[in-house]
Amino acid sequence: MDSEMLNSSVQDFWIGMVLTIRAFRPDDIRDVCRIEEESFRDPWPCYMFTYLHMKNPESIKVAVIDGRLVGYVVVDVETRRGKKVGHILNLAVEQGFRRMGIGRALMEEAISYVRRSGADEVWLEVRDSNIAARKFYSSMGFVEKGRIHRYYRDEDAIIMYKEIE
């Protein structure tokens, strides 16, 4: 078994469909950027994904259904006040594939990576107006811990947090 298989998870999805969560590869960039651009009004530039992947090849996980890349999560493990913590930097699922459990599967993989890295908490920022994402993160056990004024160019961020075992 090669290292990519060891680092990927495969699960039965819907009838006849298989969802795979695996590490990002450089040739995924077009699909990731396509989803990024359709998902956000201020999308990351493509080079951001390439840069983060070069810095840490484990930092981006992608979701693939029957060969189609349908989502991704970007995660970092940082040291804050001498303590390792996970930080979700980005997450998106292609519009036509939402509410099927793909976001949850990506986050579970990201949280598993954070845990393996020796951290026991995960933080993220989400736009105040992004009610769908706030509900999604709440459904995954994240709680709201505060607000950062004008974290985004035009809006506050809500800080969310989750302890992991």
Ligand X SMILES: CC(C)(COP(=O)(O)OP(=O)(O)OC[C@H]1O[C@@H](n2cnc3c(N)ncnc32)[C@H](O)[C@@H]1OP(=O)(O)O)[C@@H](O)C(=O)NCCC(=O)NCCS
Cβ partners under 8 Å of residue 16, min gap 6: none
DSSP for 62-102, written as a single string:
EEEETTEEEEEEEEEEEEETTEEEEEEEEEEE-GGGTTSSH
Q: Does 103 bind ligand X (CB under 6 A)?
A: yes
CA distance 108 to 73: 10
Q: Which of 41, 55, 99, 149 binds ligand X (CB under 6 A)?
A: 99
Q: Which of 33, 64, 102, 158 binds ligand X (CB under 6 A)?
A: 102
Print the binding letters for residues 119-138 with ligand X: x by CB under 6 A, - otherwise.
-------x---x-xx-xx--
Q: 24-43: which residues touch ligand X (CB under 6 A)?
A: 39
Q: Does 158 bind ligand X (CB under 6 A)?
A: no
C-beta atoms surrounding 9 within 10 Å:
13
Q: Which of 13, 29, 50, 101 binds ligand X (CB under 6 A)?
A: 101
Query: In the bound complex, which residue of the shown chain has the CB atom lying closest to ligand X?
Result: 103
Give the single-character DSSP code of 26. Answer: G
Footprint on this chain of ligand X (rule: CB under 6 A)? 39, 91-93, 98-104, 126, 130, 132-133, 135-136, 139
